[in-house]
């Protein structure tokens, strides 16, 4: 399909990805008080990234996003474990949480909890695992298509 014009697909993808990422961030921050959190936020972020890979192509996106998503997995797990162990410092049971209200520059008066740190670890882990699996499958399919085309 060389030479196809995907202007409409790329334009709508850019708008849709922006909306998905915005909603993903909203769900991440709402997760300690309402449905949402790191898991669904991570899945939605991975979905937005996959949409970009589908629209713009594997080679183009690898030039734009030079991230090895495999690195997200240990980072996320480390954040989640340290969040749980951090409660021991204050003599509390594993994964105990505390919360308070803060005045934030853009968000104003906001309720924040230490559960958000755990959710951040889950978020990174989910994005890392999901993108690693999907991109590995895409690479395998691409190599298979090339081998059929060449011989």
pLDDT tens string 23-70: 999 888 887 667 778 999 999 999 999 999 999 988 889 899 999 999
Q: Domain residue spans in the chain? A: 4-149
Concatenate the DSSP letters of all residues of 35-90 into one string. S--HHHHHHHHHHHHHHHHHHH-HHHHHHH----GGGHHHHHHHHHHHHHHHHHHT
- Mean pLDDT, the chain, as a whole number? 86
pLDDT score recorded for residue 119: 92
pTM of the model: 0.84
Q: What CA–CA distance (Å, rounded) separates 119 from 28?
A: 7
State yes or no: pLDDT of 150 exceeds 70.
no
Residue 4: phi and psi, rounded to 5, are -75, 150
């Amino acid at each position: 399909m060389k030479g196809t014009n995907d202007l409409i697909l790329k334009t709508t993808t850019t708008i849709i990805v922006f909306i998905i990422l915005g909603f993903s961030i909203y769900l991440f921050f709402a997760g300690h008080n309402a449905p949402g959190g790191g898991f669904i936020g991570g899945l939605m972020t991975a979905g937005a990234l996959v949409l970009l890979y589908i629209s713009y192509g594997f080679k183009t996106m690898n030039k734009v996003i030079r991230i090895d998503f495999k690195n997200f997995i240990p980072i996320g797990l480390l954040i989640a474990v340290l969040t749980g162990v951090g409660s021991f410092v204050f003599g509390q049971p594993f994964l105990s949480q505390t919360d308070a209200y803060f005045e934030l520059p853009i968000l104003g008066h906001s309720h924040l909890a230490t559960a958000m740190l755990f959710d951040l670890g889950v978020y990174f882990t989910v994005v890392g695992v999901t993108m690693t699996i999907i991109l590995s499958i895409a690479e395998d399919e691409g190599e298979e298509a090339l081998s059929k085309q060449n011989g």
